[in-house]
Amino acid sequence: MNGGLLVAGTTSDAGKSVVTAGICRWLVRQGVKVAPFKAQNMSLNSFVTREGAEIGRAQAMQAQACRIEPTAQMNPVLLKPGGEQSSQVVLLGKPVGELSARGYHGGRQQRLLGTVLECLAELRGTYDAVICEGAGSPAEINLRRTDIVNMGIARGARLPVLVVGDIDRGGVFASFFGTVALLSPEDQELVAGFLVNKFRGDVSLLEPGLDMLKDLTGRATYGVLPFRHGLGIDEEDGLRVSLRGTVRESNVSPPVGEDVLRVAVCAIPLMSNFTDVDALAAEPGVVVRFVDRPEELADADLVVIPGTRGTVRALEWLRERGLADALVRRAAEGRPVLGICGGFQILGEHIEDEVESRRGHVDGLGLLPVRVRFAREKTLTRPQGEALGERVEGYEIHHGVATVLSGEPFLDGCRVGQTWGTHWHGSLESDGFRRAFLREVAAAAGRRFVPAPDTSFAALREEQLDRLGDLIEQHADTDALWRLIESGAPQGLPFIPPGAPA
């Protein structure tokens, strides 16, 4: 078998990432050696592979669904937004510069098609099947000429395309039809059919519409996936949560001790790796919220300042909103604060930045004896160590180089009282360390909170991935899906006018 499939979507957040992961988990349970692929990813939620390459966390999650180690080939191009108009371009896991959207789409993107196709060919030569994820919509006609992630990669590698639509948003039939009808005849030849995502209710009521859609397009629907809570793992484009709302689907299990523990995460601009707090939300009795006002810190037992692609900008935002003063008061009162990566840098004495913001010397909050200098070379590592008597693993993604002047060592950073700082993302996924840290937080907060003795974040992640595989196995036409992956798009699919504009 040397199969492949491109999972496209009618919109961003239609469910491409989780559907791709679900197909990968279903295939690997059938004994298929499978790998994920996304040619180009725009995300601030990234991961570091064992060889020190930075890729989107969605592809790392999909690699876990395949039960393999992620590699740079699985996400050759990663764009990390630094504002409204520009992004850092990460090629094969390493940053190669900053480009405006116009500069990237104006020529640079198309020149990367060869690299992208080479990576895909390498994966297809190693694995039985490669399940590719698109980006946004394949019908973005203004970008088709330079596209390397949707129909560009499908045409280049002759991949069949499955279009996913989020019926929970409404308008899914029009979206399916319109997506196909805005593609050129050559692109339409590869669009095999549709997959309905997030359906609530009686499927029999939907079936007449699916039949009409097939009559209109000549294309089948490969499945109707029901709406399920708690499957939004490692998203790339946003929090899927309103400010002042709980972190996605936070764990609702009752606490083991007498009290819950309340965690407030400052929703700073250009937040990166917000999934760092998922392991906290997985703990019974821990309530995690994203906040943007100082009064929302009042009842928090722990405040987390997460990573950011704009450390200086985030620092200014904290000051403008009064959150900086609230954090300083918390530290003076001995109430727990944790800074991760950019959040750690914000807690320091000062920042010298001629790389990210180019603002030069900027005073930090002064809560940790740390001085930060931004280097042009990005640190990309997978460190291991010990803290609070427990083994810890993490990963680092940062330009800021921290000089720790004093304080108690904490991972690569330091601790002063109940103010903690580290560059390590993912450290809270180490179960023993997370429990020890939460015990310290509970004691400082005066809460009778007890961490559950048996919560395994890795096991919970595996359960989520199995649930995604179950969705595909139980609610998709897996026989038809198998034929599609193995043999490509059916021959003779009709052209739906008007097609792409000239």
* Positions marked catalytic: 341, 425
Classify the C-alpha dihedral 164-170-172-177 as positive or negative. negative
Q: Is 310 helix (H, G, I), strand (E, B) or coil?
A: coil
Distance CA 321, CA 349 (A): 20
For residue 95, CA distances in Å to 52, 77, 89, 218 come to: 12, 10, 6, 44
Contact by Cβ (8 Å): 344, 370: yes
Contact by Cβ (8 Å): 128, 34: yes
Contact by Cβ (8 Å): 12, 455: no
Phi (first) and psi of residue 92, to 5 degrees: 50, 40
- Count of positions (residues) in the chain: 502
Give the DSSP per-residue string, 38-105.
Answer: -SEEE-S-EEE-TTS-EEEHHHHHHHHHTTS---GGGSSEEEEE-SSSEEEEEETTEEEEEEEHHHII
Distance CA 66, CA 24 (A): 6
User: How many other CB atoms are there within 10 angstroms of residue 154's CB atom?
Assistant: 25
Residue entry with tokens 């999934």: 275
Q: Which residues touch 300 (CB under 8 Å, ≥6 apart)?
A: 262, 263, 264, 291
Distance CA 118, CA 92 (A): 11
Distance CA 219, CA 147 (A): 24
Instruction: Find the distance separating the first CA and the last CA of the chain, reported in whole Å.
Output: 37
Instruction: Report the b/e string of 228-242 with b at 16+ CB within 10 A.
Output: eeebbbbbbbebebe
